[in-house]
Amino acid sequence: MPAPHENTKDISLSITTFIIISIIKSVAVVGVLLTAVAYSVWLERKVSAHIQNRWGPTRVGPFGLLQPVADGVKFIFKEDLTQPHVYKPLYIAAPIISLVFAITSISVIPFGNWVNIGPWGTYLQITDLNIGLLVVLGITSMGVYGVALAGWSSNNKYSLLGGLRASAQMVSYEVSLGLSLVGVLIMAGSLSLREIVDAQGGVFWGFIPRWNIFHGQTVAFFIYLISAYAETNRTPFDLPEAESELVAGYHTEYSAMKFAMFFMAEYANMVTVACLATLLFLGGWHGPIFGPPILQAVMPVFWFCLKVFFFMFLYVWVRWTLPRFRYDQLMAFGWKVLLPLAVANIMVTALIVAWRA
Amino acid sequence: MLHLILFLFFGAICVAGAVNLLAQSHPINSALSLIAVMASLAAEYLLLGAEFVAAVQVIVYAGAIMVLFVITIMLLNAGKEERSKGSRVAILVGIPGVVIGGVLVAWTLLHRSNMQAVPIGALKGDPSDIARLLFHDFLLPFEVTSVLILIAIMGAVVLASRPETVARGARKDEG
């Protein structure tokens, strides 16, 4: 793989080529993301079934692999009810806000290294910003509005409680999530996701990869993992939609495609969070590379996808293993355990880095 | 050229959001217009080359502070405002104030227009530049400000907690 010249990026290309390449990349990435979202739902149903000693979806296609298509068709043809008591503009806007922000955050995620296709070359990333990580954090922090407004505009007490819980939880855990990343930033000395991954190349003692999880950020990794579960409202932190107390939480009043948009947003957020964990703690696309040249070109993307898949599997595994927290436990855990731990991790990392420098 | 078009576009959104903020009668619509203002301001910062400031603007203002606004409005279940005729003070002082302010801005722009425009990226906007300013050149003011904010937070906690719980906590400390 030819090493990209510094700052080659897409600047050397003509503006038309740049626009065409950008459009192709955007369409491809969003397509892959939506497919991944659809198949995470399938994965969730299948894995949960096997955990409970059932079969899960088997009827549509081999191993039920066409189930997401059937689900999609069903969602489109369901009756789209809008209750008379909702506040209509925000009721309609809320699922759109959720889904748009969930999908947008994929735009700065790098999937692999530089590739050359014929005369053109590009990074496997829609756009490389030198504040990539902050962009992802900013976009995810805007995603809270979708949930909060859905809860409020439904004009239903269960929805409102769900929306309030969700926004309080997401704001609280965003603090420890953000702080858990600072250690990684100190190690890499950059906010660009590509440079953070590049800083994790190489191995210790010949066999342990130099990923951040093995390189002093183990505690940060687990803080990130736990906060990420809370950020995406997944079990054991799925209080916003706790069905035993709140019917379905903030999306109680939603049906058909509007409900499906919340559903897709949840899974798209999970994919983004898994991508970030891969990039920041598990070395991104780094992994053993061997074989013929064509295989070598594909291997980094394969390693990246494998690590993301691992996180998606972990999500499902945790969901069907752990019970739900109580709300006060959730808040106490976030503020009294994760936050001090994250701050301590930053101080220790900073001291060690300063001492070595 | 593209920069100018985008600058004007986001500027228009910003002003429209600000006007809508005042015109809306429902608090939640006003809060949402304020978010639009914040977000378009962030886009303007981005166009000026201040990427870090733009990201912080979105994360802190549009993301964190406005979420708290929205949560408060949801919790209070605030309904539509009642329309009043407007206060006499606002008319007597406000309109001349706006006129004077507009004249001042226009005069400054016209008389200082020979000043050179700053090219994009000439000002410090990199995270490393801002970090050097904050933690090296202006370390003392930065730390003093953070202590001030801490004091304000503690004051808010004391004011917001009920007197009896404070007293009980104090007695527990004595005993």
Please write the tens of the pLDDT for every residue from B68-107: 888 888 887 766 767 676 677 877 888 889 899 999 988 8
Q: Give the H or E element holding residue A208.
A: strand A208-209
What residues in A contact B28, CB-CB < 8 Å? 90, 149, 152
Range of the domain at B37: 1-81
Helix (H, G, I), strand (E, B) or coil at A116: strand
Q: What is the pLDDT of residues B29-65, one digit of tens each?
A: 888 899 889 889 988 888 887 788 888 888 888 888 8
DSSP state of A115: E
The residue among B74, B128, B135 with the most chain A CBs within 10 A of its CB, best to mutate, is B74
Q: Is residue A31 part of a domain?
A: no
Instruction: Provide the b/e sequence for A104-113 (b: ≥16 CB within 10 Å).
Output: bbbbbbbbbb
Q: Is residue B16 part of a domain?
A: yes
Q: Is residue A119 part of a domain?
A: no
Helix (H, G, I), strand (E, B) or coil at A112: strand
Per-residue pLDDT in tens (0 to 9) along chain A, 357 residues: 334 444 444 455 677 877 888 888 888 888 888 888 888 888 888 888 888 888 888 888 788 788 888 888 888 888 888 888 888 888 888 889 889 988 888 888 888 777 777 667 677 777 777 788 888 888 888 888 888 888 888 888 888 888 888 888 888 888 888 888 888 888 888 888 888 888 887 777 767 777 777 777 888 888 999 898 888 877 787 777 777 777 777 878 788 788 888 888 888 888 888 988 888 888 878 777 777 777 777 788 888 888 889 888 988 888 888 888 888 888 888 888 989 999 999 999 889 888 887
CA-to-CA separations, A248 to A214, A243, A253, A254, B121, in angstroms, rounded: 39, 5, 9, 10, 48
Q: Is the pLDDT of residue B149 over 90?
A: yes
Range of the domain at A193: 81-113+129-356
CATH number at residue B48: 1.20.120.1200
Find out whether B106 and B61 touch, Cβ atoms under 8 Å. Answer: no
Q: What are the beta bridge partners of residue B17?
A: none
Q: Do B64 and A174 touch (CB under 8 A)?
A: yes
Q: Is residue B70 part of a domain?
A: yes
Q: Is residue A160 part of a domain?
A: yes
Q: Give the H or E element holding residue A244.
A: helix A243-246
Find out whether A299 and A214 touch, Cβ atoms under 8 Å. Answer: no
B28, B55, B127: residue with CB nearest A135: B55
The predicted structure's pLDDT at residue A4: 42
* CA A129 to mean position of chain CA atoms: 18
Instruction: Provide the b/e sequence for B102-135 (b: ≥16 CB within 10 Å).
Output: eeeeeeeeeeeeeeeeeeeeeeebbbeeeeeeee
The predicted structure's pLDDT at residue B150: 94
The predicted structure's pLDDT at residue A7: 42
Q: What are the beta bridge partners of residue A114?
A: A123
- The neighbour count for residue A215, using CB atoms within 10 Å, is 17
**Rounded to whole angstroms, how far apart are CA atoms A351 and A142?**
33
Find out whether A4 and A114 touch, Cβ atoms under 8 Å. Answer: yes
- The neighbour count for residue A194, using CB atoms within 10 Å, is 20
**Rounded to whole angstroms, how far apart are CA atoms A337 and B144?**
27
What values do phi and psi take at B123, rounded to 5? -85, 160
Nearest-Cα distance to chain A for B34, in Å, is: 13
What residues in B contact A142, CB-CB < 8 Å? 39, 58, 62-63
Mean of all residue pLDDT scores within chain A: 82
**Rounded to whole angstroms, how far apart are CA atoms A305 and A47?**
18
The predicted structure's pLDDT at residue B175: 44
Q: Is the pTM of the predicted complex or chain greater than 0.90? A: no
Q: Is the pLDDT of residue B173 over 60?
A: no
Q: What are the beta bridge partners of residue A146?
A: none
CA-to-CA separations, A246 to A91, A196, B85, in angstroms, rounded: 18, 41, 43
Q: Do A167 and B70 touch (CB under 8 A)?
A: yes
Q: List residues of chain B with CB under 8 Å from any CB of chain A.
A: 28, 32, 35, 39, 51-52, 55-56, 58-59, 62-64, 67-68, 70-71, 74-75, 126-127
Mean of all residue pLDDT scores within chain B: 81
The residue among A101, A128, A142, A165 with the most chain B CBs within 10 A of its CB, best to mutate, is A142
Phi-psi region of A59 (alpha: psi -120 to 50; beta: other; left: phi over 0): alpha
Bigger pLDDT: A340 vs B161: A340
Rounded to an integer, the average pLDDT of B125-138 is 82
Nearest by Cα to A197 from A294, A117, A132, A127: A132
Nearest by Cα to A147 from A304, A252, A45: A252
Q: Is residue A121 part of a domain?
A: no
Q: What are the beta bridge partners of residue A203?
A: A209
**Rounded to whole angstroms, how far apart are CA atoms A356 and B115?**
47
DSSP A75-110: HHHS-----TTS-HHHHHHHHHHHHHHHHHGGGG--
The predicted structure's pLDDT at residue A321: 85
The predicted structure's pLDDT at residue B154: 92
DSSP state of B1: -
Q: Do B55 and A134 touch (CB under 8 A)?
A: yes
A134, A139, A152: residue with CB nearest B74: A152
Q: What are the beta bridge partners of residue A121?
A: A116
Q: Do B55 and A163 touch (CB under 8 A)?
A: no
Instruction: Provide the b/e sequence for A290-306 (b: ≥16 CB within 10 Å).
Output: eeeeeeebebbeebbbe
DSSP state of A250: G
Nearest by Cα to A101 from A286, A237, A261, A304: A261
Find out whether A289 and A300 touch, Cβ atoms under 8 Å. Answer: yes
Nearest-Cα distance to chain A for B64, in Å, is: 7
Crossing angle of helices A256-281 and A67-77, rounded to 10°? 140
C-alpha torsion sign, points A128, A178, A33, A262: negative
Nearest-Cα distance to chain A for B126, in Å, is: 9
Q: Is residue B54 part of a domain?
A: yes
Nearest by Cα to A124 from A305, A301, A302: A301
Domain count, chain A: 1
- Name the one residue in this structure whose structure tokens are 């209080």: A239
Q: List residues of chain A with CB under 8 Å from any CB of chain B.
A: 90, 129-131, 134-135, 137-139, 141-142, 144-145, 148-149, 151-152, 160, 163-164, 167-168, 171, 174, 191
Q: Determine the longest span between alpha carbons in chain B, in angstroms.
A: 72
Q: What are the beta bridge partners of residue A204?
A: A208
Nearest by Cα to A252 from A102, A97, A101, A81: A81
A130, A135, A167: residue with CB nearest B67: A167
A131, A139, A148: residue with CB nearest B52: A131
